[in-house]
Chains A and B, each alone.
Chain A
Amino acid sequence: MNYFLGIDVGSVSTNLVVIDEDSRLLSKVYLRTRGQPIKAIQEGMKQLLKNVGDRIEISGVGTTGSGRHLAGIMVGADTVKNEITAHAVAALHFDPEVRTVIEIGGQDSKIIILRDGVVTDFAMNTVCAAGTGSFLDQQANRLNIPIEEFGRYALQSKKPVRIAGRCAVFAESDMIHKQQVGYNLEDIIRGLCQALVRNYINNLAKGKDISPKIIFQGGVAANIGMKAAFEEAFNQEVIVPQHHDVMGAIGAALLAKDEMKKKNSTDFRGFDVSEIDFKVSSFECGGCPNRCEVVNFHMEEKIIARWGDRCGKWKNI
């Protein structure tokens, strides 16, 4: 049996999955990135090794997410793909009839429009991160409610309060004002979910043809309050897949499986990358007034990659 590893390194979470050649999920690891992707990847590999590592051999590796290049270099990826493509591939695998994918992660939110199994349009938040996982996390924290409970609170509301969307800063201060005049928590939370969905639609979905099936994935999909708010806004059923939190990683693994049809052998360095010493050093290039911060990526003393320069002087080692 062949097995494929998919790694999704996002700003908030780092996820790893292993699938078999029939695309069945064998193991999944969900970790917080905590601003230290290298550590998170190594920790994830360690856990995978514990879960399945000694029983299987990996025949292909794919990486995705904002840390995909870093992860790709570290583990020796066979394919490095952007998160839009990875999420689309995973959603199609989950349900070939999907036509709309809502994906909300820690820092990014995306909409992907598919027709007959092909991505025809997408959008990703640009100017604002309101409505993404980090903001919800922060609000849950402020209200002293575990994030897992957030959605349940929202569903208990009978009369949602209107909260200003548009911008996380407006939303937060509007919420605080409404708390102070005595609205109850459930109604405020439901109002917040509605505001975030409104914001999502205004920022990303405007002008796009939202048609079923609609799949909602990413960390925020765990929030039943957000799911309900989307259903209310679209007047449609919104489906949350079982492994919604690791769909990016599943997509990366599926892409790796595809890639290995064209390639002879994998570049995977093995699970023991968790034992290898990876280091980052940087210097400021004085070649021009841009003063780019150039990053050196070391594997055991040897520089294996470099990035950060705008002119390409250092990129090629």
Chain B
Amino acid sequence: MNKTLNRRDFIKIMNATTTGVAIVASGITLTTFASVNEIPVTNKKRWGLLIDTNKLTETDIDGMVNACQQEQGWGTETHSTASQKPGWIKKLKVKDKATNKVSNLALMCQHCEEPPCVDVCPTNASMKREDGIVLVDKHLCIGCRYCMMACPYDARSFVHETLNNQKEHMPRGKGTVEACTMCVHKIDKGETPACVESVNSEAVIFGNLYDESSQINQTLKIIQSSQIRSDLNLNTGVRYSGI
């Protein structure tokens, strides 16, 4: 059995070793990446926002829009017209026809429990996380825009041009649809969305709607709040008071 190692055997051994190392290494890498998210995404949580239009000033809303743009990097498109530029969050002025009361509010993706955009998306690019955050998978989006037709809140935008200098946490892409992510990259690190951080009052409260000890849950129990287009029974994650 005193066999010397010939070239063929050498290649076989090297191949086996390389494959083995690759399998083990990829397993280690996957485990490492998986451990980045220390807070698991489960349906035990439902992230939401409560916007009090009586406390929210126009300056607050401008600040929210700016903070969102800074955080996510939209709005710097150079070729798109005003109606083509993405808008993840809008400032709205609404007047009650009977009382003439004017309310200012910020309108973004309402993170519905039953999102029409998710229902209609042919490729599952529109999806809802277990914790209620509605997102677009940029790798699956084919740019058919059916979700934009279906969204009752005009919350989604289409990227009309090539983009540069994007944020690392938010890879946006020409020809795909995007919308407010509720700053999911921050939430997963235990932080609050950028728009909420920008408001210095309690006009916007962020938190877990299911957590009885959270401020949002406590406040929603004692004040009158509403969902936009509540008649559609979408059970939105974003709630408003004062309108």
Judge: A and B partners, yes or no. no
Give the B-binding residues of A (Cβ under 8 A): none
Instruction: List chain B positions with a Cβ less than 8 A from chain A.
Output: none
